[in-house]
Amino acid sequence: MTSIIHSIESLNIWIGRAFGWCILILTLSVAYEVFVRYVLNAPTVWAFDMMVQMYGALFLMAGPYALAQDTHVRADVIYRFLQPRWQAVVDLSLYILFFFPGMLALFWFGWEIASDSWRYQEVSWNSPARIQIYYFKTLIPLAGGLFLIQGVAECMRCYLAMKSNKWLPRLKDSMETEDILKGQALELKID
């Protein structure tokens, strides 16, 4: 079961890293548009649509990555004082009651939206460029599917925590600056 959980996590981490490059594309697009608009007085017709699509792609594909890294915001006023077994019970209940219905809806309706967009060969009406957006809309059910797969891994993680009363370690991709500083402070105290 551990290998399945870590395989799913590594898939979502890899996809999150790949789509993280959208930040660079988005930043360069904004900088380019600002330069040509305000310095050269020659705005583009395509930059706005591309920026919206890059931001949307980043937003959609960062969700499963954040779930795999356990970095979503959590109101854990009481939760953090519970034993891992009871934390797992709470998490599993919330996944079943709220997460899976929401992600199934995202996947189902996203599939309908994407298939309609492909059928009509939908283009953007926001700018004169009329760029194709059916590629972008395909990310909606893809993100829903990745969320669902990661949700299954999270439920398996909850099951293991309920059995052993400890959480399975996550695959780490990055660390918060706060955690790095705490680790350095601990090393200084030990030395």
Residue 35 lies in a domain: yes
Question: By 3-state DSSP, what share of the chain in percent is helix, strand and coil, each rounded to 5?
Answer: 75, 0, 25
Q: What are phi and psi of 176, to 5 degrees?
A: -70, 145
- What is the per-residue pLDDT for 186? 63
- What is the per-residue pLDDT for 175? 66
Structure tokens at 61: 């594909």
Residue 189 lies in a domain: no
Weakly modelled stretches of the chain, pLDDT under 70: 174-176, 184-191
C-beta of residue 23 within 8 angstroms of C-beta of residue 55:
no
pLDDT per position as a tens digit, 88-137: 999 999 999 999 999 999 999 999 999 999 999 988 777 777 888 888 89
Residue 55 lies in a domain: yes
Residue 166 lies in a domain: yes
Residue 112 lies in a domain: yes
C-beta of residue 162 within 8 angstroms of C-beta of residue 92:
yes
- Rounded to two decimals, what is the model's pTM? 0.83
Residues with Cβ < 8 Å from 66, sequence gap 6 or more? 16, 72
Structure tokens at 26: 């988005």
**Cα-based distances in Å from 90 to 100, 155, 159, 161:** 14, 11, 11, 11
As a whole number, the mean pLDDT across the chain is 89
Q: Which range marks the domain in which residue 92 is found?
A: 2-184
Domain count, the chain: 1
